[in-house]
């Protein structure tokens, strides 16, 4: 039958899958040892996708869901930074609200901005890591690599990173809409509290400063 134009999107997708089976002639291609394989059929139906190097940062992380969501948007450069808003002709001033020094795009906000760099630097010190924050993309790669490992400290690293991204974004919004923001020390305390609330006692001990 012809697929009706008024049919719902879901039903259209289901009906279109008929092409994969070709009246049953191709069904044997999806068998394993004589049994139909749902996995093989699914791989044929789904659209081809590329794996991203940072997937474990979002998928293998016990941080709060809202922090993972904001981190995901940040990595995709989908946060509504001033730079993006200016591209849509919604604003003219793109100065960073947190440091008043530089254009607020995703790379400046994380972690070229003095405020955000100090927040992340203090988070690293909790894990006994002493270094200067690097570019956002480099930090994402480092955090993603940490999330690939099973050691408690590595898991805490990923959680601290995503919580830092989320709370820096919150403070940016608070400064824009309320005209004020918390100090970097206050933000670090909130980040540590949120992480500590989601881990066991053995991991929590590593957060003691």
Domain containing 132: what range? 55-207
Q: Which two tokens stand for residue 50?
A: 């590329």
SS3 of residue 85 by DSSP: helix
Distance CA 209, CA 192 (A): 10
Q: Are residues 35 and 83 in the same domain?
A: no
Q: Are residues 118 and 86 in the same domain?
A: yes
Q: Could you tell me if residue 3 is inside a domain?
A: no
Render pLDDT for 99-134 as a digit per residue (tens, 0 to 9): 999 999 999 999 999 999 999 999 999 999 999 999
Q: Could you tell me if residue 198 is inside a domain?
A: yes
Q: Lowest mean pLDDT: which of 5-9, 23-27, 36-40, 89-93? A: 23-27
Q: Could you tell me if residue 177 is inside a domain?
A: yes
Q: Could you tell me if residue 28 is inside a domain?
A: yes
The confidence score (pLDDT) of residue 125 equals: 96
Render pLDDT for 35-66 as a digit per residue (tens, 0 to 9): 888 888 888 777 777 788 899 999 989 999 99
Q: Could you tell me if residue 4 is inside a domain?
A: no
Distance CA 83, CA 90 (A): 10
Q: Are residues 26 and 96 in the same domain?
A: no
Cα 175 from chain centroid (whole Å): 23
**pTM (2 decimals)?**
0.81
Q: Are residues 76 and 20 in the same domain?
A: no
> For residue 25, what pLDDT band results from cuts at 50, 70 and 90?
low
Cα 116 from chain centroid (whole Å): 17
Q: Are residues 107 and 38 in the same domain?
A: no
- 156-176 mean pLDDT: 97
Length of the chain: 209
Q: Could you tell me if residue 2 is inside a domain?
A: no
Q: Are residues 110 and 36 in the same domain?
A: no
Distance CA 166, CA 70 (A): 6
Tally of domains within the chain: 2
pLDDT over threshold 70, residue 23: no
Q: Are residues 34 and 105 in the same domain?
A: no
Q: Are residues 142 and 191 in the same domain?
A: yes
State what percent of residues in the chain have pLDDT above 70: 97
The confidence score (pLDDT) of residue 121 equals: 97
Element (H, E) at 197: none
Q: Are residues 73 and 138 in the same domain?
A: yes
Distance CA 103, CA 94 (A): 5
Q: Are residues 78 and 112 in the same domain?
A: yes
Q: Which two tokens stand for residue 21?
A: 């089976």
Which residues is 31 bridged to in the sheet? Answer: 36
Q: What backbone phi and psi angles, to 5 degrees, belong to 200?
A: -85, 175
Q: Are residues 96 and 159 in the same domain?
A: yes
Q: Are residues 95 and 31 in the same domain?
A: no
Q: Could you tell me if residue 176 is inside a domain?
A: yes
Q: Could you tell me if residue 156 is inside a domain?
A: yes
Per the CB < 8 A criterion, the answer to whether 104 and 96 are in contact is yes
């Amino acid at each position: 039958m012809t697929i009706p134009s008024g049919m719902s999107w879901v039903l259209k997708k289901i009906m279109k899958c008929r092409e994969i089976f070709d009246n049953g002639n191709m069904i044997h291609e999806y068998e394993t040892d004589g049994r139909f394989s749902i996995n093989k059929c699914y791989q044929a139906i789904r659209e081809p996708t590329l794996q991203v190097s940072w997937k474990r940062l979002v998928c293998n992380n016990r941080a709060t869901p809202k922090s993972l969501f904001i981190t995901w948007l940040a990595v995709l450069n989908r946060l509504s930074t001033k730079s993006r808003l200016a591209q849509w002709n919604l604003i003219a001033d793109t100065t960073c609200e947190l440091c008043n020094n530089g254009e607020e795009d995703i790379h400046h906000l994380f972690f070229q901005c003095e405020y955000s760099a100090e927040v992340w630097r203090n988070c690293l010190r909790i894990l006994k890591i002493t270094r200067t924050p690097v570019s956002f993309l480099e930090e994402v790669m480092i955090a993603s690599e940490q999330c690939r490992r099973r050691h408690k400290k590595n898991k805490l690293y990923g959680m601290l990173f995503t919580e830092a991204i989320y709370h820096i974004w919150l403070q940016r919004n608070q400064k824009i809409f309320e005209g004020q923001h918390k100090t970097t020390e206050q933000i670090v305390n909130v980040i540590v509290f949120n992480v500590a609330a989601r881990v066991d006692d053995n991991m929590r001990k590593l957060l003691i400063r």
